[in-house]
Amino acid sequence: MKQKKQTSLQKLTNKNKPNTQIKQNIFQQILFIDKFKAFLTDIFMIYMPILYIATYFILGSKEAFQQSQITLFICFFLYAIILSILFATKSQTLGYMYAEIILLKDDDRKVGFFLALFRFILFCFSMSLVFGFFVPFMRKDRKTFHDFICKTKVLKHKRIPVK
């Protein structure tokens, strides 16, 4: 009988492999660094250009940008929308692609737009109150607060070159 060819996501989340538990423990140890690297990359590649365009092309000066709280909110909201769209379509942002990690639901399906947006809002809430930084260090599975609430997970995922 002919077997179906597995996709890269199916290979990544295959539970039948004997080394899965060992690999999962290794991935959990390096995941914090990878997530931080992805966060910084997203800030500089997505959020900073939004702020630059709003400051110098739309408002015209740094002083005007500093006086406009609504512009800052719009830029932040636009950043959240872009991240949510990327998570919903590709399961990765630019930073996640660079760090070679991927965001999935706990049942190994893609995250939807509204769940990704809600996850981002929870991330901002938990980090602004500082407790979000400490949650992964207190949990055995190393899940962050927003991943625990949204039932999502971040996994190591190598990119497969397109032929």
Write the DSSP assignment of 43-99 as a string of letters.
IIIIIHHHHHIIIIIII-SHHHHHH-HHHHHHHHHHHHHHHHHHHHHHS--HHHHHH
pLDDT digit string, tens, across residues 130-157 = 887 788 788 887 788 888 899 998 888 7
pLDDT digit string, tens, across residues 10-62 = 555 554 444 555 555 555 555 678 888 999 999 999 999 999 999 988 888 88
Per DSSP, 105 falls in state E
| HSE-up of residue 27 (Cα within 13 Å, Cβ side) | 20
How far does Cα 86 stand from its chain's mean position?
Answer: 9
Query: Distance between CA 150 and CA 157 in Å, rounded?
Result: 20
Its pTM stands at 0.76
